[in-house]
Amino acid sequence: MLRPYIFLPSLTVPYRRIFPPMPHIRIALSQFRPNKGEYAENVARIGAVIAQAAQLDPRPALVIFPETATSGYFVEGGVKELAVTAGTLARDLAAAYEGPAIDVVVGFYERFQNHIHNSALYVTLSKQKPEVRHVHRKVFLPTYGVFDEERFVDRGQEGVRSFETGWGGKAAILICEDAWHSLAATVAALEGAQLVIVPSASPARGLGEPEDEDCEGETLPASVVRWERIVRGIAEEHGVFVALANLVGFEGGKGFPGASAVIDPTGRVIARGPLFEEALLTADIDLDSLTTARSDSPLLADLQSALPVLTKSLSGAKQDQKVRFDPAANGSPAHGAQRTAHVGVFAKRTQENDPLAIDPELTRKWLVSFLKDEVVRRRGFKKGLVGLSGGVDSALTAFLAAEALGRENIIGVRMPYRTSSPESLAHAQLVIDKLGIPSVTVDISDAVDGYLKQVGDVDPHRLGNVMARERMIVLFDLSAKHKALPLGTSNKSERLLGYFTWHGDDAPPVNPLGDLFKTQVWTLARHVGVPEEIVAKPATADLIKGQTDEGDLGVSYLHADRILYHLIRGEEPVGFPKEEVEIVRKRLDSTHWKRRLPTVAVVSQTAIGEFYLRPVDY
């Protein structure tokens, strides 16, 4: 059964000119959140968005959807099940849309001549048979960072081409990383494209980038700012309009930010979509303005003239040719000329920003969106459970979850042991009272002591691990009782240092804090209103009386976080005591196993996680 279509907000930003009005067209970009792996449902929703766009006045001539809009991006081996032919998609779009003629671009996984590609279909939909005008197959397939595309799809072999559209102009398509390679955009412009369409599924990375002139006071994820620099450069260098349409939503924790944009041929952002929200963004573009832009900055014409010169060396015919130049002339060397005065050497170092600085408001919005997507949309839960220890991490998770799911849908669970600090219990209650959330208190003393009495020989380390795992038993049992998803509270520092119990406090399936260092947790906690007495107190697992995290680790979080930052980037930390660097390095290197699933002996060609690959939210 298809989910009801949610009517999207329509954001219209006109293209303003200083000259009298001239012919222009309207385009629409859909910030689309696909339901992972549900081709039929996604196509039906795409049809509904097209129908909504067609009702706007004036009606857009073109509606653009992001990369892999029919399936979601991170589907791994699922591409074999989700890939369809371009003809199939054109037929299904025509069936999903009934309305006036309109051009549409949709990103999808394509079956083509016994290969699977990451493609984008350009089709004119009308009451007649759909007219397929172009299919672009992604050329540059990323295989770094969070990407492993070339393992699952084949590289497009047709390159980049421009094509005639239903609205009278010429367009070209570059899918995501295609646009990062300047030659691809150059080919599109040389082919005559007036509009370069960039469907993208690029996850957000970087918790806040310094604003530039086009951000209009809004702090954006660093990856979004970099994307805008790329597409603005394409537009300005080649004198073309660029339309960047990005997915929204989260897939396995990786968040697609939206922030779609339309760029004019001078490199100016004339429309930008909201962050992390579905929306239909519209903008008016004046094709005649291309003439003015290319006249004022004739870089494309210069390139067309110089191209034969630039490409001479590509043939390889003159690679061994010696350098050519005329000999010295016009008299003898001027040995007697007066020497110039000494020139001072000037080297100014740019001020280094704190590498762990975050924009707390952007981070809050990001993580709240993550929880809404992962808990409700992806996993189908309405409620969440947070084990409240009285510390800052669990308090922050509770604050974020209460905003994402609603206070009435978050259950705070206190799980004291007989030696737990009264302050921990009181601080957990403070969070419950401040948020006004339902709560449960389960004393784990009898369960822990009963088990340890039977096995004997108790030591503090084993006691702490048993307590942590007993708390997970409580949380997962209450999860079944209340139909509420347990939410994680472990931060990135603890996870990298191995300072947690395996299958214990890092067990909950959704964790909003797992990529935040401890010092970043403190910053965000203060921003969202976690009581200062919780944020400021020394961090402790409260497993042993008088225990503190920094006492156990032998290094402060202020130093450990920055040492870790450099180590995981392959850099040698400088400016820290050598013994502290070695403490952190040893813990990092000796705890990789705690951050992975159990090691399985691979004996078949269908081993889970090696050959049979499906994402967690498939």
pLDDT band at 540 (very low <50, low <70, confident <90, very high): confident
CATH number of the domain at 278, please.
3.60.110.10
The more confidently predicted of residues 277 and 312 is 277
Same domain, 383 and 464: yes
pLDDT band at 478 (very low <50, low <70, confident <90, very high): very high
In a domain, 192, yes or no: yes
- Residue 303 pLDDT > 90, yes or no? no
Same domain, 293 and 394: no
The more confidently predicted of residues 145 and 367 is 367
**Alpha-carbon dihedral sign for residues 113, 116, 121, 126:** positive
Confidence at residue 334, expressed as pLDDT on a 0 to 100 scale = 62
∠ at Cα 538 (421, 534), nearest 5°?
A: 75
- Residue 463 pLDDT > 80, yes or no? yes
Query: Mean pLDDT across the stretch 531-541?
Result: 93
In a domain, 529, yes or no: yes
DSSP 374: I
The Cα 465–Cα 503 span in angstroms is 9
Same domain, 160 and 235: yes
Query: Mean pLDDT across the stretch 329-351?
Result: 67
pLDDT single digits (tens) 248-261 = 999 999 999 999 99
Confidence at residue 19, expressed as pLDDT on a 0 to 100 scale = 45
- Residue 9 pLDDT > 80, yes or no? no
- Residue 329 pLDDT > 90, yes or no? no
- Residue 22 pLDDT > 50, yes or no? no
User: Which range is least confidently modeled, 291-300, 390-399, 567-576?
Assistant: 291-300
pLDDT band at 1 (very low <50, low <70, confident <90, very high): very low
Which of 265, 283, 298 delimits the end of a domain? 298
Looking at the chain, the whole-number percentage of residues with pLDDT higher than 90 is 76
pLDDT band at 14 (very low <50, low <70, confident <90, very high): very low
How far, in Å, are 34, 332, 491, 573 from residue 467 at the CA level? Answer: 41, 90, 19, 35
Same domain, 286 and 432: no
pLDDT band at 4 (very low <50, low <70, confident <90, very high): very low
The Cα 562–Cα 168 span in angstroms is 55
Same domain, 246 and 374: no
In a domain, 344, yes or no: no
The Cα 196–Cα 243 span in angstroms is 6
Which of 250, 268, 298 delimits the end of a domain? 298
Q: Is 170 helix (H, G, I), strand (E, B) or coil?
A: strand
Provide CB contacts within 8 A for 192, sequence distance 6+.
Answer: 162, 170
Same domain, 290 and 392: no
Confidence at residue 217, expressed as pLDDT on a 0 to 100 scale = 63
Same domain, 215 and 294: yes
Which residues face 463 on adjacent strands? Answer: none
Confidence at residue 546, expressed as pLDDT on a 0 to 100 scale = 76
pLDDT single digits (tens) 59-68 = 999 999 999 9
In a domain, 459, yes or no: yes
pLDDT single digits (tens) 81-120 = 999 999 999 999 999 999 999 999 999 999 999 999 999 9
Same domain, 266 and 367: no
In a domain, 570, yes or no: no
In a domain, 575, yes or no: no
Same domain, 366 and 280: no
- Residue 549 pLDDT > 80, yes or no? yes
Which of 519, 546, 573 delimits the end of a domain? 546
State phi, psi for 173 to the nearest 5 degrees.
-120, 135
Query: 130, 113, 214: which is closest to 166 by C-alpha?
Result: 130
Same domain, 188 and 278: yes
Confidence at residue 25, expressed as pLDDT on a 0 to 100 scale = 93
Same domain, 388 and 258: no
In a domain, 207, yes or no: yes
- Residue 220 pLDDT > 80, yes or no? yes
- Residue 338 pLDDT > 70, yes or no? no
Provide CB contacts within 8 A for 399, sequence distance 6+.
Answer: 431, 435, 525, 528, 529, 530
**Alpha-carbon dihedral sign for residues 576, 580, 586, 591:** negative
Same domain, 81 and 208: yes
In a domain, 609, yes or no: no
pLDDT band at 611 (very low <50, low <70, confident <90, very high): confident
CATH number of the domain at 429, please.
3.40.50.620
- Number of compact structural domains in the chain: 2
Q: Which domain holds residue 505?
A: 360-546
